[in-house]
Structure 1
């Protein structure tokens, strides 16, 4: 057994992942499984579910994969019950499900607000309410991981209710982390910035190819590390938070974002360097 396997202690553990059949969720499931974790997944995308089932079979991976809506309490409860019956333990919960649409707040409606809050906040509360009693009963502690976004930490014009819901998830996680810390249960968040996935490309209208909508130059300007995020950048954080390497980490947020949260509006302009405003030559061309 290598150093990571011994210190990480992931082999034989069980993780339940909401939204785990595509995009970020698929990457997280694959990386957890590669470290010996048995995974249970719910996802609304039928095609993605079938692809994941096939991939699990080909890897010889122990997995439960349900097609269903994690926002539906009954569907979510059915997956938890299936985990109880098959493995009798739960060590990790990863909440990936989320989504939004872009519109000025004054052009949105209560129905739209409710949909965004249900998609980004309420299912997290639901999943945590089911996971915590099981982790307590197991007596081994556990790890709850919420995938949020950098937009929980900054303004995002056109996404007002989405940012509010994601910020609520982060604050909920901090408080829950304190409440369940005596049980050895940790609660943390992962807040990525731009990491192209099929759903993100749909929302933002960008083209696939690994750069922002502004191309390679725009990426170098907007992201301090000069590249867009990869799914593995986020899934690696999830493996860390699920493992024993983070056994003393709770109530916090990891920011796999290439430095965009730290830069907070400062851009690396070609020929000019770092500035929190557009250089004169750029303004002259507008």
Structure 2
């Protein structure tokens, strides 16, 4: 990397799981724009891959919940570009489900996607990063649910809390060759999540956030650039909150609402 510009990723290789749409695509695009060679993965091939100024990400089909597939994914990236500098464990998510009636199969799949898969891909990436010049950086994309559970997210919350703990554990074991950090994301406006935020396109939701807007995928992407760059060379085991300050406490909102009604 050019020491004059710590956000120049020319010559570096980045792998983004779930990098074909939404937040993952924005992360892939940000690294492409910064000069990196980027590999994205998903279970199904997309019509197009993220591209910036004529440079496109390379797609590799992989179900990262499968340990063997995680190894093949990393091997494919290294075979194509010769090294792996940054892993962004972005693949994840869950529909809401009632904890009292949800099936064991559902719980297993959610935990596999949001906790076990990042572990498997990170293990495979570490085997490469630990021996190469410059080491590497692993960034786990988490959720505010790990800190502040919401109804209908029991399995997801448990998995994301585990991902945060996993980040801290790996940071202890893998430094100094490989830094491992975590991003706590809050409410993010994506195409797939638009319907969740109501008919007003999220305007009501934005009023409970100190920054007065929901995040957009590029907010998370820029945080990834920071954590992967030399600007954060001494940052390891950190939990970077990208949630606009969180949400105002319910008692505060209730009091303000009462004041308006008087």
TM-score w.r.t. the length of structure 1 is 0.83
- Quote how far apart the aligned CAs of 1:71 are: 1.9
> Per the alignment, in what secondary structure is the counterpart of residue 127 of structure 2?
helix
- Whether the 8 Å CA contact 1:40–1:79 is kept in 2: the answer is no
1:195 to 188, 193, 200: 188
- Whether the 8 Å CA contact 2:185–2:241 is kept in 1: the answer is yes
5+ unaligned residues in a row in structure 1: which ranges?
268-274
In structure 2, the partner of 1:71 is 65
1:24-83 alpha-carbon deviations (Å, 9 max, x no partner): 00000000011111101101343xx2221xx53x73326421233222334333321222
1:118 correspondence with 2:112: yes
- Whether the 8 Å CA contact 1:177–1:187 is kept in 2: the answer is yes
Q: Give me the whole-angstrom Cα distance separating, in 2, the residues matched to 1:137 and 1:218.
A: 46
In structure 2, the partner of 1:51 is 48
1:129-278 equivalence runs, <5 A? 129-183=123-177, 185-201=178-194, 204=196, 206=198, 211-212=201-202, 216-220=203-207, 222-260=208-246, 263=248, 265=249, 275=252, 277-278=254-255
In structure 1, the partner of 2:39 is 40
In structure 2, the partner of 1:6 is 5
> Per the alignment, in what secondary structure is the counterpart of residue 173 of structure 1?
helix
1:96 to 71, 90, 99: 90
* Bigger helix share: 1
Q: In 2 relative to 1, CA 198–217 (structure 1 residues): closer, same or farther, beyond 3 Å?
A: closer
> Per the alignment, in what secondary structure is the counterpart of residue 16 of structure 2?
strand
Q: CA RMSD, aligned part only?
A: 2.5
Q: In 2 relative to 1, CA 248–232 (structure 1 residues): closer, same or farther, beyond 3 Å?
A: same
Q: Give me the whole-angstrom Cα distance separating, in 1, the residues matched to 2:11 and 2:101.
A: 49
Q: Give me the whole-angstrom Cα distance separating, in 2, the residues matched to 1:85 and 1:121.
A: 26
- Quote how far apart the aligned CAs of 1:276 are: 5.6
- Whether the 8 Å CA contact 2:2–2:8 is kept in 1: the answer is no
- Quote how far apart the aligned CAs of 1:101 are: 1.7
> Per the alignment, in what secondary structure is the counterpart of residue 106 of structure 1?
coil
Q: Which has the larger radius of gyration?
A: 1
- Whether the 8 Å CA contact 1:17–1:25 is kept in 2: the answer is yes
Task: State the aligned residue count.
Answer: 262
Q: In 2 relative to 1, CA 280–194 (structure 1 residues): closer, same or farther, beyond 3 Å?
A: closer
TM-score w.r.t. the length of structure 2 is 0.90
